[in-house]
Amino acid sequence: MSLVGKKYPSFSAPAVVKGYEIVEDFSLEQYLGEKHVIFFFYPKDFTFVCPTELHAFQAKLEEFEKRNCAVVACSTDTEESHLAWLTTPKKKGGIEGVKYPVVADTAKTISMNFGVLGGGYKFNADTQSWSFEGNPIAFRGTFLIDKEGIVRHESINDLPLGRSVDEYLRLLDALQHVEEYGEVCPANWKEGELAMTATNEGVASYFSQN
């Protein structure tokens, strides 16, 4: 089920912050009332597509921060694995230089609650035991969360499909425009372009100018 329009699922989990420091009780609550959040999941540390995405978010981090938006990553790897990856040079497949928080969802509950886990636990009544069916890692889920903790956008890519970081900047710009001006943003809208009021007259005015 989609989380759009709902409060994000709260959590407290270990994370690596600033690229080198492990904290045991990281949560998104610290941003409530203060910042928008891009919260994104990736499958695994020390893989192939994943480092390109984490570096891409880091390359645009200043742009997100200009918009008062925090970027937070999450996977089902341990915080120790995150730290090792964060201290491995880029040319060796690492993500050294990434400064935003990377959350460790080792219990897989965060991924499950956000609806991005590649499988789930099933109970076998015959053996009276639980087993995991599917892939016990997260898909490439991305969530845009407003200052009130409401999910305003979500997208989920399958494992081989990398994201466009620029699209999340565009969506963030659109959300902040809506919040500030009360206008709605049409297809392919970018900051500085015409938006519209959600009325027949507004639509007519928009198309008359485009």
CB-based contacts of 57: which residues, under 8 Å, 6+ apart?
38, 40, 64, 71, 73, 98, 100, 165
Catalytic residue list contains 50: yes
Q: Are 148 and 49 in contact (CB under 8 A)?
A: no
* Sheet containing strand 13-17, strands side by side: 21-26, 13-17, 102-104, 69-75, 36-41, 140-145, 151-157
Q: Which of 50, 69, 74, 185 is catalytic?
A: 50
Catalytic residues: 50
